[in-house]
């Protein structure tokens, strides 16, 4: 008979933490480095616990009672679903739509030079540049810099920006931007503005 702490339900319940962290981490353009790293460590720990529990229960349980181990299916199922959801732009764009009005109100305070939070967004600064209000995110995970640009009545073009910024329209006068790793040599290769991209995940010192 297995101890209660070896129950397959523990691993199944624990997936909520890394799955939530992963989705939260990609809710901002370029991802949040600290949150995504915590999510990956969380998945590693949950995966190890799932593996140990699976081996223990499958080895000791009689074949006729193995149907009770169905909670073990939850871990790979949630992992696959959360990884798929995190890899696209749905989470990021839905989050932006929810906080759009708050971001527009923040523009009235520009320039803002201290760290300012709006929902999941933590901005190093909010300022006006070349006809746009630029929202610089703190601690991006897959780019040197990232954030939003609100450009009423104008369109941001590379000719007006010197740091390697790449802009992608979201809705109306709103754009998401990022400065890719190595943008000075080739701004066309590297991370997309939205979604989990493990190969681009690097630590950037907080400013």
Query: Do 135 and 113 form a contact (C-beta atoms < 8 A)?
Result: no
The C-alpha atoms of residue 45 and residue 81 are separated, in whole angstroms, by 18
Query: Tens of pLDDT along 183-194?
Result: 656 666 778 899
- Total-model pTM: 0.86
The C-alpha atoms of residue 49 and residue 61 are separated, in whole angstroms, by 18
Query: Tens of pLDDT along 18-39?
Result: 999 999 999 999 999 999 999 9
For residue 111, is pLDDT > 50?
A: yes
∠182-188-168 over CA atoms, to 5°?
Answer: 110
Q: Please give the share of the chain, as a percent, with pLDDT higher than 70.
A: 82
Q: Terminus-to-terminus CA distance in the chain, angstroms?
A: 54
Question: What pLDDT score does 56 carry?
Answer: 72
For residue 1, is pLDDT > 50?
A: no
For residue 204, is pLDDT > 70?
A: no
Q: How far is CA 39 from each of CA 3, 43, 95, rounded to the nearest angstrom? A: 28, 6, 19
Query: Tens of pLDDT along 145-185?
Result: 999 999 998 888 765 566 678 889 999 999 999 888 876 56
Query: Tens of pLDDT along 58-94?
Result: 656 555 555 566 778 889 999 999 999 999 999 999 9
Those residues whose C-beta lies under 8 Å from the C-beta of residue 150, and which sit 6 or more positions away, are 103, 104, 107, 132, 133, 135, 173, 174, 175
| Both structure tokens of 182 | 């190595």
Q: What is the DSSP letter of 39?
A: H
Tallying the residues shown for the chain, one arrives at 207
Give phi and psi for 22, each to the nearest 5: -65, -45
């Amino acid at each position: 008979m297995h101890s209660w702490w070896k129950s397959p339900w523990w691993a199944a319940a624990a997936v909520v933490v890394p799955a939530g962290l992963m989705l939260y981490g990609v809710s901002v353009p370029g991802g949040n480095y600290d949150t995504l790293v915590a999510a990956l460590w969380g998945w590693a720990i949950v995966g190890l616990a799932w593996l140990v529990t699976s081996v223990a229960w499958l080895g000791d349980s009689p074949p006729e009672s193995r149907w009770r181990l169905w909670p073990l299916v939850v871990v790979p199922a949630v992992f696959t679903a959360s990884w798929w959801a995190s890899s696209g732009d749905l989470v990021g764009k839905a989050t932006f739509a929810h906080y759009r009005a708050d971001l527009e109100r923040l523009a009235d305070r520009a320039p803002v030079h201290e760290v300012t939070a709006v929902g999941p967004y933590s901005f190093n600064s909010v300022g006006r540049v070349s006809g746009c209000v630029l929202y610089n995110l703190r601690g991006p995970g897959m780019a040197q810099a990232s954030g939003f640009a609100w450009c009423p009545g104008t369109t941001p073009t590379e000719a007006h920006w010197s740091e390697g910024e790449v802009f992608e329209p979201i809705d109306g006068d709103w754009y998401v931007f990022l400065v890719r790793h190595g943008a000075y040599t080739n701004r066309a290769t590297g991370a997309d503005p939205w979604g989990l991209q493990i190969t681009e995940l690097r630590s950037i010192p907080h400013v």
